[in-house]
Amino acid sequence: MPRRRQPDGLEIMGADNPVDPALLDGPGSPKGQEMLARVLAIPRVPNPSPRPRVRIGRIALITAILIAVPAAVWALTRGLSNPEAIVCFADVSVDADRAGAPFEGPADATACVSVWEQVLIESPQVEPGEVPPLTACVLDQGSLGVFPTDDEGVCEALGLAVPDPAQQAEADAVRGLLVDLVEFIETDDCMPMEAAEAGIRHILDESGFGHWEIRSQAATDERPCASLGFEPENSVVHLVPSSDLTP
C-alpha cells in the first residue's frame, strides 16, 4: 500500500487556523514575532520513526528596604508561563534573527544546541555548526529566549527576567505533558473529537494535570478531525476541528 503523503506546514495552517486575523497584532510587533517563533518551535518530521508533530491549530528606611526586596526579586526572576515555546536568537538582541527550538526536551538554554548545530540560525561571531555559550531569559510573553552569550547579566541588560529555578521542574513537566498529548493525537490520522477529549482527559488526570481544562469546538462534516492547541499560561488544552489532509 503506498505511503500516505504528510501535509506540509502551509496546508496545515491553511486548514486549521481558527484565529480571526483582524484580532492579531501585526507581524512586525513583538507579540507577532514571538507567535511566529512559537509556531517555528513545532518540529517537522522527516524520518520513518517520527517524533511528536503538532497540527497547527490541531508565566523607616529599613522597613522600606524590606518591602522593596520582594518586588525586586519578582522583577529579576520569573517562571515560564509558556514553556512550550523556546526562541533561539542569533545575537544578543531581541530584534536579532531567531529560530524555534525543538518541541521536546527541558525548558532551558540547552534546547537551542541543535538549532546552532544544524545552522538554523547564523552569526558572524560563530562558525557554522558550532555552538556558542548560551544563556536563557524569560521573554515578555512568558516563553524562553536563549541568547549566544555567557554574560550572566544579559537578561537585566535586555530588560528581561531570569528564569526562576524554583519553577524549572514545573516548566519541564508541562513540556513533557504537551509532547505526550501530541503523541496521543498523532496515533490517528483523523481522531474524532469525542475520542480525543476522552483520551486527553485521561492523560491530564494521570499526569498530575487534572486541574487543566479542555475546551472543545464542535466538529463539522468538513472538519471532523481533532487538532490540538495549547494555552499553558491558563492551564487549557484546545481541541479544534480540522480537515483530514492525508489523502
Cα–Cα distance list, 24 to 21, 92, 109 (Å): 5, 27, 29
Cβ 151 vs Cβ 157: under 8 Å:
yes
Q: Is 18 left (phi over 0), alpha (psi -120 to 50) or beta?
A: alpha
What is the predicted pLDDT for the residue at 76?
A: 85
Grid cell locating 141: 510573553
Beta bridge partners of 241: 226
**Residue whose cell numbers read 533561539:** 88
Rg (CA), the chain: 20
Please check the confidence at residue 46 and state whether its pLDDT lies above 60: no
pTM passes above 0.85 = no
Evaluate whether 44 touches 8 at the Cβ level (below 8 Å).
no
Instruction: Find all residues with CB under 8 Å of 230, minimum gap 6, and list them.
Output: 84, 178, 181, 236, 237, 238
The pLDDT, as a whole number, for residue 224 is: 95
User: What's the total number of domains in the chain?
Assistant: 1
Q: Which residue segment(s) compose the domain that 34 sits in?
A: 1-247
Rounded to an integer, what distance in angstroms lies between the CA atom of residue 69 and that of residue 62? 11
Question: How confident is the model at residue 37, as a pLDDT?
Answer: 53
Q: Is 6 a residue whose pLDDT tops 90? A: no
Hey, CA dihedral for 240, 99, 101, 46, is it positive or negative? positive
Report phi then psi at 140, rounded to 5: -60, -35
Q: Do the beta carbons of residue 3 and residue 244 sit within 8 Å?
A: no
pLDDT at 26: 52
CB 199 within 8 A of CB 167: no
> Cα dihedral sign for 37, 171, 108, 46?
negative
pLDDT value at 9 more than 80: no
CB 245 within 8 A of CB 15: yes
| Nearest residue to 216 (alpha-carbon basis) of 58, 24, 105 | 58
Mean per-residue pLDDT over the chain, rounded: 78
Query: How many other β-carbons are positioned within 10 Å of the β-carbon of residue 212?
Result: 21
Task: Assess whether pLDDT exceeds 70 at residue 117.
Answer: yes
Element housing 196 (H / E): helix 193-206
Residue 121 confidence (pLDDT): 95
